[in-house]
Structure 1
Amino acid sequence: MNPKEYTEHESFCLADNAELKRRFLRIIREYQNSKSLKDVKLMGMDYDFKKDEFFMSYYIGVDWIDAEKQQAMVVLPKIKSVDFQTMLMKCFTCDKASEDLDQVFFIRTEDKPIEIDSSSFQMEPLLIVYFINLINRIAKNGLKSGYTVREECLNSKIKGKVMMTRYIKHGIALDRREMVDCRYHEYNIDCVENRIIKNVLLYCKQMIFRVQKSLGRHLEQLLNMYSSVISAFENVTAYVSPQELQHIHLNPVFKDYKEAISLARMIIKKRGYCVEYEKKGNKYKFPPFIIDMPVLFERYVYALLNEAYGKSVQYQKGTKADRPDFLKPDEQLIIDTKYITDWKCRINSDNVRQLSGYARSKGIRRRLQVSDDSTICPCMIVYPDSDGIATFCPVSAIDSKNDIQLIDGYIQFFKVGVSLPIVYSDFPKL
């Protein structure tokens, strides 16, 4: 199977392939109103009727076109060699940036795996990060409890059901009538769901050291994340039988557990079959997955802002109608990220108008503690740039910092390019 390969935000025509065009149009019509990553199909592909062209969105990943016919697609980043693994890891340095990462990266664990080339995506490190982050979210909300069967020899008391055969053999026959063998149910966190998760977590540690070269400088950070998560399962045993794995019934109240158990089953079943290389080459199988690059870039920038300014930066604060990415009240500054590389050489007037509207919103101005209606709030666009900055400085230092540029023709309007991490020779290549 050779998946069709596209690039993020690429446009293309299918005039010479009517069958594939019809299939794309049918799927697009069916899923065009999808809002969450788990519902997005064909990597968010859309169709321009005027130009008779299909165009990709800002998602990257792998998806099925037709699973029955073994037709799949791969969408690669438009920024060559961008290290989105490092971008994801950077998000974990900031609590807010690491929240709800299913809005950034989602794996369809229940779908049939797709065979892809390791040169397209190196998925094993991302799989570890994804699973540990998912379990970390579960641990923060509190582990679920359930009934587990216990068998115990009790002294002078009965609990649950008396195991008569054992009691006669070990108690009455040996003249130890006060020792009663009982089987009973106990309500605790050592339930089958948590045991499955702990079993996989222990295996994840082996996976971490197996791909430590790929993780590079992130190894220590990921091990710290792992230690934090595994400590929540201290009172949970790691044994799970094949019968328990096959006949587990999940309560719909625990939504995160459904995804966690689905992913855990996949890893347990063949011990990482989805990320092991085939003997005849560098192919491996992995379920369909999707990464929202603009949201990932937004979270990455937030981690950088948090590193530079701390709590003085507010994330996603505003009104119902107007919600810029970031507010910085101490400088009365509005910051918005735009995953548009063209911002380096040209001005996007639509973006300027959007931020100008934010600067005039009474609700936002109150959050920025602006009391004078004549005060012009400074605005700043943050965009990806290979020659951009790695850290932020105050806008008040603009005269001594050339990386933050004042946009000609506008008052108090700035732009700054942020350099994205790049995959080097000692890291997996895209």
Structure 2
Amino acid sequence: MQEHEKIPYDSLAFQEYWGEGLRLPGQSKGLDRWFFQWQWRNSPIIDDEQDSDRPIVTESGYYASYVIGAQWFDEAKTMPLVITTKHGCDRIDFLKMFSVCFNSGIEAKEFSKIYAVDMEQPRIKAPELKSVLSPLIVAHFLSIVKEIVKRGLKKDYVQREGNLNKVKGRIDISRNERMNIMKKRYDKVFCRYQEYSEDTLENRLIKKALVFSQHILQNEGISESLLSLQHTIHECLAAFSRVEDEIEVWEVKAIKHHKIFKEYNDAIKLAQMILHRYDYSITNITSAEEEYCPVFWIDMAMLYEHYVLGLLREAYGEKIHYQVHGHTGYPDFVCYSPKVVLDTKYIPRFEYGNLDTYIVRQLSGYSRDKWIFPIKPESNIPCVIIYPVEGEEENPFKSKRLEDFLNVEDRCLWNFHRIAVPLPVLNEAD
């Protein structure tokens, strides 16, 4: 099924179980970030033989939100729920969207708000989502590993053992007797010792996940959007050149998360997720097993917001301020030269028709907020709605001034403007 469609299962039978619906984690009441939500809807029966007194049939039930992913609808895990985009997940270049987000300087904590994965529940067969989840996890993982490389790999004392020419650490009596004394190799001594090294268990896990990530991206084919991620993998693998990638499955599962090293904590969780995703075997990356995905969700509105942020930053750099704290809220983007308030709305219908009154009031409040604009402007600050359309334009902001987009005004509102930013689509060759 697609975004905003009615869930095909009997909603009434599960109303007691789901209540209002499935709210995305970390949400409070009043926010509209749902996987699916109960909605009351009425519509007339279409019947030419009936007069104006035609009866009303209710279509109330659970409806998908602007979230895609896979979820079990029932407690027994027998009724899968797979939600795709209206544009078709097989057509959207998700990898490009993720790489644009990645290059925008998005922080790992912000990336974590875009999606979530539950590896504990049974997997769901969803070939429609085959090319969505893995690139997203890889892009998130690489953004964190890049920060680790920038700060320097963590070192620790690592347990070593070896048959050496001189004593180091302590002698392993039993193994030294079997390997040296009994064979009359008196020039050798088998020792156990500690070495301060980058070759820690945590770094081995991260390097192993980097190798997996390399294979995952290679399996996605050849496209321009892959280049930056592939380049990042090569840089990271070079930084891990003194680290082995051999690690046992039980060691992967046993690694504890770090409370002090936040980047390592996130990198370990994502590395474990990548390896678990393919049952710790690189050969599974190209197998049919990828048709089965874990329970997960991606907030398309949040992904689109960060994708647009990446495009704006590519065109205008640090002129674009993200989520400025205001008295009336947090506008998506603010520019001070020229003064403009911009807000993304992942609603394709904004191409036609009037803007919702709530949205008009929301942006009008931002443009008059003294916390956002401390100096009183000479005239009303322009408000811009950015919405998605289907198209192939790379970056509509590139090589254009922001003022050029303010020439066309909304037909009903002063100083309100609309900008269509296409969702990237795959070429037929891809």
- Structure 2 length as normaliser, TM-score? 0.79
Contact 2:219–2:285 (CA under 8 A) maintained in structure 1 = no
Q: Quote the residue 1:339 is aligned against.
A: 346
Q: Which among 3, 6, 9 is matched to residue 4 of structure 2?
A: 9
Return the letter of the residue paired with 2:122: K
Contact 1:200–1:268 (CA under 8 A) maintained in structure 2 = no
Instruction: Give the C-alpha shift of residue 375 in structure 1.
Output: 3.3
Instruction: Give the C-alpha shift of residue 251 in structure 1.
Output: 3.3
- Partners of 2:362 and 2:21 lie apart in 1 by 31
- Partners of 1:71 and 1:358 lie apart in 2 by 44
Gaps of 5+ in 2: 43-59
Return the letter of the residue paired with 2:213: C
SS of match in other structure, 2:303 = helix
Return the letter of the residue paired with 2:236: V
Q: Which among 69, 77, 91 is matched to residue 85 of structure 2?
A: 77
- Partners of 2:287 and 2:75 lie apart in 1 by 21
TM alignment of 1:204-219, pairs within 5 A = 204-212=213-221, 215-219=222-226
- Partners of 2:402 and 2:129 lie apart in 1 by 37
CA displacement 1:263-308 (0-9 Å, x = unmatched): 3234353436476227xxxx82111221111111111111111121
- Partners of 2:422 and 2:99 lie apart in 1 by 16
Contact 1:62–1:72 (CA under 8 A) maintained in structure 2 = yes
Q: Quote the residue 2:413 is aligned against.
A: 410
TM alignment of 1:241-390, pairs within 5 A = 241-245=248-252, 248-251=254-257, 253=259, 255-256=265-266, 257-271=268-282, 273=284, 276-277=287-288, 284-319=291-326, 321-348=328-355, 349-366=357-374, 371-372=375-376, 375-386=379-390, 390=395
Contact 2:70–2:297 (CA under 8 A) maintained in structure 1 = yes
Cα 1:420–1:236 shift into 2, 3 Å: same
Contact 2:331–2:343 (CA under 8 A) maintained in structure 1 = yes
Contact 2:21–2:34 (CA under 8 A) maintained in structure 1 = no
SS of match in other structure, 1:133 = helix
Q: Which among 121, 131, 147 is matched to residue 111 of structure 1?
A: 121
Contact 1:275–1:284 (CA under 8 A) maintained in structure 2 = no
Return the letter of the residue paired with 2:3: E
Gaps of 5+ in 1: 1-5
- Partners of 1:274 and 1:65 lie apart in 2 by 27
Counting matched residue pairs gives 394
Return the letter of the residue paired with 2:419: V
TM alignment of 1:172-187, pairs within 5 A = 173-176=184-187, 180-187=189-196
CA displacement 1:319-353 (0-9 Å, x = unmatched): 36421011111101111111111211122222111
SS of match in other structure, 1:309 = helix
SS of match in other structure, 2:280 = helix
Contact 1:196–1:264 (CA under 8 A) maintained in structure 2 = no
SS of match in other structure, 2:103 = coil
Q: Which among 192, 202, 205 is matched to residue 193 of structure 1?
A: 202
- Partners of 1:107 and 1:268 lie apart in 2 by 15
Q: Quote the residue 1:23 is aligned against.
A: 14
- Partners of 1:197 and 1:309 lie apart in 2 by 34
SS of match in other structure, 1:323 = coil
Q: Indicate the RMSD between aligned Cα atoms, in angstroms.
A: 3.3
Cα 1:262–1:418 shift into 2, 3 Å: closer
- Partners of 1:274 and 1:28 lie apart in 2 by 38
